Amino acid sequence: MKTYPKLLIIAGSDSGGGAGIQADIKSAGACGAYSATVITAITAQNTLGVNAIEGVSPQMIANQFTAVMEDIGADAVKIGMLHSKEVIEEVAKHLQHYKPKHIVIDPVMVATSGDRLLQEDAIQALMDQIIPQAEVMTPNVPEMELLLGENIKNSMEFSEYAKALAEKFKVSVLLKAGHLKGDKSVDILFNVKTKQITKLSSPRITTKNTHGTGCSLSSALASYLAQGFSLEEASQKAKTFIYQAIKAGGDYKIGKGSGPIHHFYKLEG
């Protein structure tokens, strides 16, 4: 019998479909993985913003986690926004129990507006209990600054920040360059085991349809890890996927604000 590469996604729901678990599932499917989910929160949002958030109880999160792992299992786990200290502790406990081979965390802590999405105790719990269990994390620049406790300086090489994060938390880091300027977007992968630095470059695309790129990148990365690719191979394939999805999505209009990327660009004739 055939088997699917299986990805367990732990994240919140985006009713607009552009980010969160909806984007995660689309990315996983486009990149060849089967998705199961643990929904941590329900949001009422669209292309213009988030209107309301309602958290799922830690007990229900535990029930979802157990139901999936005891039957389906997971070759990799992708973790998105965990909105409270209690939820973080619950997820950390189940990760420790099931010990999935690959854990990718997108440390969603800062909104596009620059506002923090987590309280201080939740941020500390994330750093103490979740990030150290991960194989790789995928922060953007504001999240990197929060995790390191310092602002980015033009005099310091971007790769040095990825290295500093990796050495602080003892996990590999795929540091996203979306907040930087320039004709190219050059993400940095620092493999904490080999100390190898890999630069992942693509042309920078001018478009407002970038909603959910962070969610989609981390899910693509986890999907490729679930299929047995090395960290470097999975990161490069995920970077290529996101670039092509952003490029294809720029031709579409959905809603009145920031639209999504085109996850299924390969299906276009």
Over the chain (269 residues), the average pLDDT of each successive run of 10 is 97 94 98 98 91 93 98 98 93 98 92 65 94 97 91 81 96 89 90 97 93 95 98 98 96 94 90
Counting the structural domains of the chain, the total is: 1
**Contacts for 53 with CB less than 8 Å, ≥ 6 apart:** 12, 41, 42, 43, 44, 83
Residue 52 included in any domain:
yes
CATH code (residue 25): 3.40.1190.20
Residue 268 included in any domain:
no
Domain range for 52 is 6-257
Residue 264 included in any domain:
no
Residue 162 included in any domain:
yes
In 90-108, which positions are buried (b, 16+ CB within 10 angstroms) versus exposed (e)?
Answer: bbbebbeebebebbbbbbb
Residue 115 included in any domain:
yes
Residue 195 included in any domain:
yes
Q: What is the DSSP string of 197-219?
A: EEEEEEEPP--S--BTHHHHHHH
Indicate the pairing of strand 76-79 with strand 49-55.
Answer: unpaired
- Active site residue ranges: 176, 210, 212-215
Reported for 47-56, long-range contacts at CB under 8 A and 24+ positions apart, including other chains, are: 47/16, 47/18, 47/211, 47/254, 47/255, 47/256, 47/257, 47/258, 47/259, 47/260, 48/255, 48/256, 48/257, 49/257, 53/12, 53/83, 55/83, 55/84, 55/87, 56/87
Q: In what order do the strands lie in the sheet with 196-203?
A: 49-55, 34-46, 6-14, 76-79, 102-105, 136-137, 172-175, 184-191, 196-203
Q: Which residues pair with 224 in a beta bridge?
A: none
Give the model's pLDDT for residue 155.
57
CB 161 within 8 A of CB 152: yes
User: How many alpha carbons fall within 13 Å on the CB side of residue 128?
Assistant: 9
Two tokens, residue 67: 């139901």
Q: Where are the beta strands (DSSP E) in 26-96?
A: 34-46, 49-55, 76-79
